[in-house]
Amino acid sequence: MKPYETFDGARVAEKLVAEIRSLAEAQHFSRVVLGISGGKDSTVTAALCARALGAENVYGVMLPDGEQKDLADSQRVCEALGIQKRVINIGAIHAALKDVTDQTGETWEEGAFPIPFSRESDINVGPRLRMTVLRYIAQALDARLAGTGNLSEITVGYCTKDGDTSCDFAVLAGLTSLEVVQVGLALPELPRDLVEKTPTDGLSGMSDEEKLGVSYAAIHRYIREGSSGDSTTDEKIACMERAGMHKRVRPPVLSPFAEVQGE
């Protein structure tokens, strides 16, 4: 049998709960803050943290950017788990950022360089603003920030640098998207439809798979078996993996004392 065919979601959930407890004891924290999007990753992460530390010690923050059509899903997660919850709309912060950088280009100061509007930059600023808010709350509550990204997203760079990649511990970073679903289905306290909900970024109006151009099943096989089963798909995933490498490694530390190569 292939590894994923014997994947035991319940057993993996138990191990992750134990790891969270062990980390909390080693680093002397008892509270956790995380963003709740209503998708499977934050849903499963919240459930595991609640099992590990108690629902009263998990703070779920919903961070819509203006209007969020599936905000009710995020509310359902918090209610199902009985965790602490709060809604903070970052729409005004986002609008203020665009205003102070004057992306309309109408009133430049003398000598100021233009900052043209970039669709991708604007999409990515949402996760970065959310992370700033989450860090603010976590420090105020003397809590740690739980990361919700999974291995499939991390592998292909489908994440925002200094946004959802920033956390104090990454709960699902060792699990593919398909494996996260299996863990979620093993947690009876979670609404099944939210665990199996089609993943979207909530920003572009597209599903993750539409935006990536490959399926999560293919990414899963690429990671766990070394190939998706299609060479063209493999190359596409490998290309994304190379392009997103800078999101997975620490920034290079430049040393003026090291010998310069070639000298």
**Phi-psi group of 252: left, alpha or beta (phi > 0 → left; psi -120 to 50 → alpha; rest → beta):** beta
Buried b (16+ CB within 10 A) or exposed e, 130-143: bbebbeebbeeeeb
- Decide if 107 is inside a domain: yes
Q: Which amino acid is at 192?
A: R
**pLDDT (0 to 100) of residue 256:** 85
The model's pTM: 0.91
Encode pLDDT of 232-254 as tens digits.
Answer: 999 999 999 999 999 988 888 88
N-to-C CA span, the chain: 53
Residue range 133-162: average pLDDT? 96
- Decide if 253 is inside a domain: no
DSSP-assigned beta bridge partners for residue 59: 33, 84
The sign one gets for the Cα dihedral 147, 214, 156, 217 is: positive
- Decide if 258 is inside a domain: no
Kindly tell me if the per-residue pLDDT of 108 is higher than 70: no
Q: From the DSSP assignment, how many helices (H) and strands (E) are in the chain? A: 11, 5
- Decide if 117 is inside a domain: yes
**pLDDT (0 to 100) of residue 99:** 84
The candidate with the shortest Cα–Cα distance to 157, out of 239, 224, 226, 216, is: 239
- Decide if 46 is inside a domain: yes
Tokens 């008892």 sit at which residue?
A: 30
Kindly tell me if the per-residue pLDDT of 98 is higher than 50: yes
In whole angstroms, what is the distance from residue 171 CA to residue 148 CA? 6
Cα separations in angstroms, 96 against 63, 64, 91, 93, 204? 16, 15, 9, 5, 20
- Decide if 262 is inside a domain: no
- Decide if 254 is inside a domain: no
In whole angstroms, what is the distance from residue 138 CA to residue 32 CA? 7
In whole angstroms, what is the distance from residue 234 CA to residue 221 CA? 10
C-beta separation of 131 from 166 below 8 A: yes
Mean pLDDT (the chain, rounded)? 91
Encode pLDDT of 3-17 as tens digits.
Answer: 456 799 999 999 999
Tokens found for residue 255:
């040393």
DSSP-assigned beta bridge partners for residue 58: 32
| Adjacency order of strands within the sheet including 84-87 | 84-87, 58-62, 32-35, 144-147, 169-170
In whole angstroms, what is the distance from residue 154 CA to residue 168 CA? 16
CATH of the domain at 24: 3.40.50.620
Kindly tell me if the per-residue pLDDT of 30 is higher than 90: yes
Phi, psi of 10 (to 5 degrees): -65, -40
What's the total number of domains in the chain? 1
Which residue range(s) make up the domain with 164? 3-247
Residue range 124-134: average pLDDT? 95
Kindly tell me if the per-residue pLDDT of 198 is higher than 50: yes
The candidate with the shortest Cα–Cα distance to 70, out of 45, 87, 56, is: 87
- Decide if 260 is inside a domain: no
In whole angstroms, what is the distance from residue 58 CA to residue 159 CA? 23
C-beta separation of 144 from 134 below 8 A: no
